[in-house]
């Protein structure tokens, strides 16, 4: 990257990162980044095509097949990952600024959540790199002769990592840490809105001493380079985080040559609030669950299921929290919520708010936002909704909460499980038996009891139903980048 500007030296011109070097697109095309706050162009980047994808995949392929990387031990990969974690820690403020500038959120949010989590993920991955052990399996032998069988976990190969714009650096590290621990190489395709932090990661990878070509980044549109990556025969696995529509398309394309696929998709996560919950804690926790990052979180707790005994008081207190959130330019003192990330999001979220009003849900806070300059959406709360409404079924990906009352546990579970999604869920109650019962019955990849979306590099993360396939993070997240091989030896 060249031509650094701004207080924390955000790059103004970016290029692809292929085989350890920054390069322009083969056809010289460039894209622009628009600030969600004032819609001004604040940086440009290389807008890639198929030729750039081919070069990046060849570079990753060469390192995986016969490069220096292919000969490193797990212990040595771990040492490199630890160096990388140190460098991310050194540049954490800058990286937080990069992600914040691209999507218009207060930099404090990625600084306190995304960056610590990303650093932890890289360090935890470093720890796994030399512990990917197999099993020894007793078998009856081969034609009467004794045998010993053992399994090994081998790196799956070249990975295409396609990432979204909402928490870009953290999600990139959820993929890059585990896949490097397993011994894979990668071509990262960040979202068009957020190429900056992925490119910075590639620079740090080089600085840490990884061989050139282990981590490559190509920037540009999903429909061109994302698609080209998924189709490229040099790619062995695609790991994708994004919308269910694109996830489905990727799975269909990948089926052509049986590429491995893991998909982290959307959600419509329920937050179940029982009458015996600590009300203040539940209101604050549910508010964080839907308003954090302007509601642009895959696990956003967008459906709040409240026991009928406290539905009214809960809705009043929750709406008061929504009204108190200060929305504006995140660079200004005291602002708690920035704009949504792009104009398409602004239009989409407002459309859903109109649909909620038309369906007859009670608007308790916020409402349709007028377009001025910048893509600011008011935190919005609907009460007295039912689970058939569009605002209760479809992922809005914005700061819109839908409160639905319920009578008893059976009804709560029926509503909670009554969507195509199954990513996260929360249960707010002081009854420990009820907590375990509800956690067991709700269909989701992760359930938080009296807390929202607990994420940690040691915990698996992923969805059931149309929220995805496979897990990231935890041991499962590293193993997802390996193939298990069994070797049987006749011993006598």
> Where do runs of H (alpha helix) occur along 209-299?
227-231, 244-255, 279-291
Q: CA 23, CA 15: separation in Å to the nearest integer?
A: 5
Q: Tokens at residue 213, please?
A: 């070509």
Asked if 266 touches ligand NDP (CB under 6 A), the answer is yes
Q: Please say which residue, 39 or 68, places its beta carbon nearer to ligand NDP.
A: 39
Across 64-100, b (16+ Cβ under 10 Å) vs e yields beebebeebebeebbbbbbbbbebbeebbebbbbbbb
Q: Single out the segment in contact with ligand NDP by CB under 6 A; choices: 14-22, 163-171, 201-209, 383-391.
A: 163-171
> What residues contact 216, with CB distance under 8 A and at least 6 apart?
16, 17, 18, 19, 56, 59, 60, 185, 186, 187, 188, 202
CB of 351 to ligand NDP, least distance (A): 15
Asked if 121 touches ligand NDP (CB under 6 A), the answer is no
CB of 303 to ligand NDP, least distance (A): 14
Residue 210 main-chain phi, psi, to 5 deg? -65, 145
Asked if 294 touches ligand NDP (CB under 6 A), the answer is no
286 is catalytic: no
CB of 269 to ligand NDP, least distance (A): 10
CB of 190 to ligand NDP, least distance (A): 6
Asked if 174 and 460 touch (Cβ cutoff 8 Å), the reply is no
Marked catalytic residue, from 102, 286, 298, 473: 298
Asked if 242 touches ligand NDP (CB under 6 A), the answer is yes
Strand pairing report for 185-189 and 158-162: parallel
Site for ligand NDP in 458-487 (CB under 6 A): 463, 468
Asked if 279 and 313 touch (Cβ cutoff 8 Å), the reply is yes
Marked catalytic residue, from 193, 264, 395, 472: 264
Asked if 265 touches ligand NDP (CB under 6 A), the answer is yes
Asked if 373 and 327 touch (Cβ cutoff 8 Å), the reply is no
Q: Which of 17, 64, 165, 428 binds ligand NDP (CB under 6 A)?
A: 165
User: Residues 451, 452, 453, 456: is their CA dihedral positive or negative?
Assistant: negative
Q: Which of 230, 404, 416, 455 binds ligand NDP (CB under 6 A)?
A: 230
154 is catalytic: no
Asked if 166 touches ligand NDP (CB under 6 A), the answer is yes
Asked if 302 and 400 touch (Cβ cutoff 8 Å), the reply is yes
Point out the residues that are catalytic.
264, 298
Question: Where do contacts with ligand NDP occur on this chain (CB under 6 A)?
Answer: 162-166, 171, 189, 191-192, 221-223, 226-227, 230, 241-243, 246, 249-250, 264-267, 298, 395, 397, 423, 463, 468
């Amino acid at each position: 990257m060249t031509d650094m500007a701004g207080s924390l030296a955000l790059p103004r011109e970016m290029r692809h990162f292929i085989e350890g070097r920054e390069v322009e697109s083969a056809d010289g095309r460039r894209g622009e980044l628009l600030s969600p706050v004032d819609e001004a162009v604040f940086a440009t980047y290389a807008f890639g095509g198929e030729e750039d994808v081919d070069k990046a995949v060849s570079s990753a392929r060469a390192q995986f097949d016969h490069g220096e990387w292919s000969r490193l031990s797990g212990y040595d990969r771990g040492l490199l990952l630890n160096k990388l974690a140190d460098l991310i820690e050194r540049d954490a403020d800058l990286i937080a600024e990069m992600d914040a500038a691209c999507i218009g959120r207060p930099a404090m949010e990625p600084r306190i959540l995304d960056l610590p989590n990303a650093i932890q993920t890289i360090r935890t991955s470093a720890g796994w790199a030399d512990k990917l052990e197999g099993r020894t399996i007793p078998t009856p032998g081969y034609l009467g002769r004794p045998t010993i069988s053992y399994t090994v976990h081998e790196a799956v190969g070249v990975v295409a990592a396609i990432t979204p714009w909402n928490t870009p650096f953290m999600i990139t590290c959820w993929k890059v840490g585990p896949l490097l621990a397993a011994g894979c190489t990668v071509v990262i395709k960040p979202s068009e809105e957020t190429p900056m932090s992925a490119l910075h990661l590639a620079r740090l990878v080089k600085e840490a001493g990884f061989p050139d070509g282990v981590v490559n980044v190509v920037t540009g549109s999903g429909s061109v380079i994302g698609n080209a990556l998924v189709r490229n025969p040099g790619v062995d696995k695609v790991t994708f985080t994004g919308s269910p529509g694109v996830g489905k398309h990727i799975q269909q394309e990948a089926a052509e040559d049986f590429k491995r696929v893991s998909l982290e998709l959307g959600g419509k996560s329920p937050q179940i609030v029982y009458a015996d919950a600590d009300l203040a804690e539940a209101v604050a926790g549910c508010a964080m669950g839907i308003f954090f990052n302007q509601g642009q979180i895959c696990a956003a707790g967008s459906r709040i299921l409240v026991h009928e005994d406290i539905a009214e008081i809960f809705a009043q207190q929750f709406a008061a929290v929504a009204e108190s959130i200060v929305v504006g330019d995140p660079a200004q003192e005291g602002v708690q919520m920035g704009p949504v990330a792009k104009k398409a999001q602004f239009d989409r979220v407002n459309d859903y708010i109109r649909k909620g009003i038309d369906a007859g849900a009670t608007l308790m806070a916020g409402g349709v936002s007028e377009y001025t300059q910048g893509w600011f959406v008011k935190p919005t709360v609907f009460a007295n909704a039912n689970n058939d409404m569009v605002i209760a079924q479809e992922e809005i990906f914005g700061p819109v909460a839908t409160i639905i009352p319920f009578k008893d546990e059976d009804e709560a579970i029926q509503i909670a499980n009554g969507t195509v999604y199954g990513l996260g869920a929360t249960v707010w109650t002081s009854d420990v038996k009820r907590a375990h019962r509800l956690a067991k019955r709700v269909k989701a990849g992760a359930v938080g009891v009296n807390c929202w979306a607990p994420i940690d590099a040691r915990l698996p993360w992923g969805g059931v139903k149309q929220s995805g396939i496979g897990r990231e993070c935890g041991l499962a997240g590293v193993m997802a980048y390996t193939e298990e091989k069994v070797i049987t030896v006749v011993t006598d």
